[in-house]
Amino acid sequence: MMHWIILPVVLPALLAPIIGFVMRHDIVLARVASVAGAVLLLGVALGLTVLAADGTTHVYRLGNWPAPFGIVLVLDRLSALMVLLTAVLALIVLIHAIATGWDARGRHFHALYHFQLMGICGAFLTGDIFNLFVFFEVLLIASYGLMIHAGGKERIRAGLQYVVMNLAGSTLFLFALGTLYASVGTLNIADMAAKIPEIPVEDAGLVRVAAILLMIVFAVKAALFPVQFWLPATYANAPAPVAALFAIMTKVGAYAIIRVHTIVFGPGVASTEDLAGTWLFPAAIVTIAIGAIGVLGARRLMPLIAFSVLGSMGTLLVAVSAFSATGISAGLYYLVHSTFAAACLFLVADLVVTRRSADSLEPAPATGQNGLFAALFFAAAIAMAGMPPLSGFLGKLLVLDAMRAPGTIGWTWTAILAGSLVTILGFARAGSTLFWKSTAFPVPEPGSPAPRPASAAELAPSMSAIAMLALLAAFAGPVSAYMQDTTDQLFERDGYIFAVIGPDERVEDALEAAKEIVEEEEG
C-alpha cells in the first residue's frame, strides 16, 4: 500500500500545530516553515499526479481496515489534479501574503493556512462521504479564522454571516448523510455507487431526497443560485490573500458535485440520474446572470471581483450540469483556469487597493507604479472575462462547444456570451476609472508621503498566476487531453468501485472464520 496518498493531509496536519504552538512568537521562523511546508506539499502533489497519470485508481485504507468498513482515501486523476491545483495556488498565495505583510497583521495566519490546506486536500482525496463532511468542517473552521484575520468591523460582521451560513449548510449535510445511511446502509462512496442502482426506482424516494439535499449542500459551497448570497460579502471583506485562497474553496463544492453526482447518483443510475442535471442547469444559468449584473453594479473593486468569481462558478457548473464526458472535461479545464484567474485578480487588487485611500471605484491620484498595476489588472481581467489570448477564452470556448445539445444551447450560449460581454464592460469601466482617470490628477508634491512601491516579491505571485494562465493557454492541447482522460476515468464507475471494494481476501477469510465459529457453536 502506498503511503504517499495520505501525505497531503498528514503534512499540513503536523506542520500547522507546530507553527501554531512552537513558532507563534517568531514570525520569521513561522514564515520559513510555512513556505517549506507549501513547497513540500507541491512536491507531493506533483508526485501523486505522476502516480495517478497512468489511470490506475490508488486506494489507501486507513488503519488497513478493508472498505467499506474502514475509511479509504482514493487517488485517481481527478483527485490528483485538484490536489496539485491546491498546492500550486497555496504556494503563490502564501508568498503574496508574506511579501505584503498580511500574515503579520493578525495571529496564527500560517497555522490556520495549513489547517485550511489539510481540509481542502482531505476533501479532494477522501472516498467516504462522512469523511468528506469531516474534512469540510476542517477546512471551514480554518477558513473562519482566516476570514476574520486582521480584524475590523466590516470584516468580522461579514465573517459572522459566513460562519452562520456554513453552519446551517453543515447541518443540512448531516441530514443528507442520515437520510442516505438510513436508505442505503453505507457511507462509502464506492459502496453506495454499487448499492444504489440495486434499489428499485419506486422505492428510491429517500435516496432521491438525499441526492438533492447533498446537491444543496455542495451548491452552498460552490455559491450557486439561490444559495450564492454569502459569497460577495465574504470575498469582498476577507483579507485579499485569503480571498485568493478561497478561490479553491468554491471549487471544493464543484468537485463534490462532480464526484458524488457522477459516481453515486450519476448517469446509469435509473433512480437518480435525472435529478442533478435538471436542477443544476437553471441554477447555474441564473448564477452567471447574477455574477455579470453584480460586476456591472459593484462600486468597490473587491466586490466586483467577487461577483466575477460568482459568474465563473456559474459557467463552470453549466458545463458540469450536462454530466457528459465533454461537458465535465470542459468544466475541469475551466475550473483550473478560473481558480488562477480569480486568485490573480484578488492579488492584483490587493496591490492596488492598499496603495489607494479607499477601495471604492472612484478616480483618485495615481499610485506609484500605475502602468504596471494597470497591465497586471488588464491581463487578469481579460482572463476572467474570457478574452483571448489567455486561457479564459479557450475555457469558455470548450464549455460552449460542450453545450451544443438542443434544449441547452440557447440558454447556455446566451447566458455565457451575454454574461461575458457584461463582465468585460464592468472590468473595462473599473480599470479605466482606476488607472486612466487617476492620471488626470496632479502629481502629489514631493514632500507628501507616497505609497511604497511594490517590490519584486510582492509582484511575483500575481505574475506567476498570470504565467499559469498563459501556460494553461499555451498547453491547452495536452491539458484538455488530460482532462478528457480524467473524465473518462470518472465515468468508469465500475473501475472505481472495483478498486475500492474489490474482492478483498481478508474479508473473505474473516467471513469464513466467522462461519466456522457459528457452526462450532451450533454443532
DSSP 82: H
For the purposes of burial, counting CB atoms within 10 Å of the CB of 506, is it exposed (0-12), middle (13-18) or buried (19 or more)?
Answer: exposed
Pick 14 or 182: Cβ nearer other proteins = 182
Instruction: Tell me the sheet residues that pair with 360.
Output: 300
CB of 302 to other proteins, least distance (A): 14
Q: Which residue from 29, 150, 181, 397 is in contact with other proteins, where contact means CB under 8 A?
A: 181
The DSSP letter of residue 119 is H
**How much of the chain is helix, strand and coil, in % rounded to 5?**
75, 0, 20
Residue placing its CB nearer to other proteins in the complex, 215 or 424: 215
Q: Residues 341-370: x/- map of binding to other proteins (CB under 8 A)? A: ------------------------------
Q: What stretch of H or E contains 437?
A: none
Q: Which of 35, 107, 175, 208 binds other proteins (CB under 8 A)?
A: 175
Cell of 369: 507604479
Spatial distance between the Cα atoms of 344 and 465, rounded to a whole number of angstroms: 6
* Binding-site member from 182, 417, 418, 474 for other proteins (CB under 8 A): 182
Q: In the chain, what is the straight-line distance between the N-terminal and C-terminal CA atoms, in Å?
A: 40
Q: Which is nearer to other proteins, 37 or 127 (CB)?
A: 127
Residue with cell string 504596471: 372
Q: Which three cell numbers stand for residue 377?
A: 489588472
Least distance CB 474 / other proteins (angstroms): 42
CB of 159 to other proteins, least distance (A): 6
| Burial (CB count within 10 angstroms: exposed 0-12, middle 13-18, buried 19+), residue 456 | exposed
Nearest residue (CB) to other proteins, 80 versus 147 = 147
Cβ-based neighbours of 169, under 8 Å, separated by 6 or more:
217, 220, 221, 227
The C-alpha cell at 453 is 512601491
Shortest Å, Cβ 155 to other proteins: 9
Pick between residue 50 and residue 167 the one whose CB is nearest to other proteins.
167
Q: What is the DSSP string of 422-436?
A: HHHHHHHHHHIIIII
Task: Tell which one of 179, 287, 324, 420 touches other proteins (CB under 8 A).
Answer: 179
Q: Which residues contact 250 (CB under 8 A, 6 or more apart)?
A: 221, 222, 223, 231, 309, 313
> Minimal CA–CA distance to 490: which of 323, 339, 313?
323
CB of 465 to other proteins, least distance (A): 30
Residue whose CB is less far from other proteins, 99 or 213: 213
Interface pick for other proteins out of 30, 233, 305, 341 (rule CB under 8 A): 233
**Binding-residue pattern over the window 135 to 174 for other proteins, x denoting contact by CB under 8 A:** --x---x--x---x--xxxx-xxxxxx-xx--xx-xx--x
Q: How far is the CB of 168 from other proteins (least distance, A)?
A: 7
Q: Does residue 205 belong to the site contacting other proteins (CB under 8 A)?
A: no
Helix (H) or strand (E) holding 188: none
> How many amino acids of this chain bind other proteins (CB under 8 A)?
36
CB 469 within 8 A of CB 341: yes
State how far the Cα of 92 lies from the Cα of 108, in Å rounded to an integer. Answer: 19
Pick between residue 31 and residue 155 the one whose CB is nearest to other proteins.
155
Crossing angle between the packed helical segments 301-321 and 391-402, to the nearest 10 degrees: 30
Site for other proteins in 107-136 (CB under 8 A): 130, 134
Nearest CB to other proteins, comparing residues 89 and 148: 148
Q: Which helix (H) or strand (E) holds 86?
A: helix 77-100
Q: How far is the CB of 19 from other proteins (least distance, A)?
A: 19
Which residues, numbered 487-516, are part of the site for other proteins (CB under 8 A)? 514-515
Min dist. Cβ of residue 226 to other proteins (A): 16
**Residue placing its CB nearer to other proteins in the complex, 152 or 495:** 152
Q: Work out how close the CB of 244 gets to other proteins at its nearest, in angstroms, rounded to a whole number.
A: 22
How far, CA to CA in Å, does 248 sit from each of 42, 84, 198, 336?
15, 11, 35, 9
Q: Which is nearer to other proteins, 58 or 155 (CB)?
A: 155
Residues 6+ apart with CB under 8 A from 61: 1, 67, 70, 71, 72
C-alpha R_g of the chain: 24
Binding mask 246-265 for other proteins (x = CB under 8 A): --------------------
- The site for other proteins (CB under 8 A) is made up of 130, 134, 137, 141, 144, 148, 151-154, 156-161, 163-164, 167-168, 170-171, 174-175, 177-179, 181-182, 187, 233, 514-515, 517-518, 521
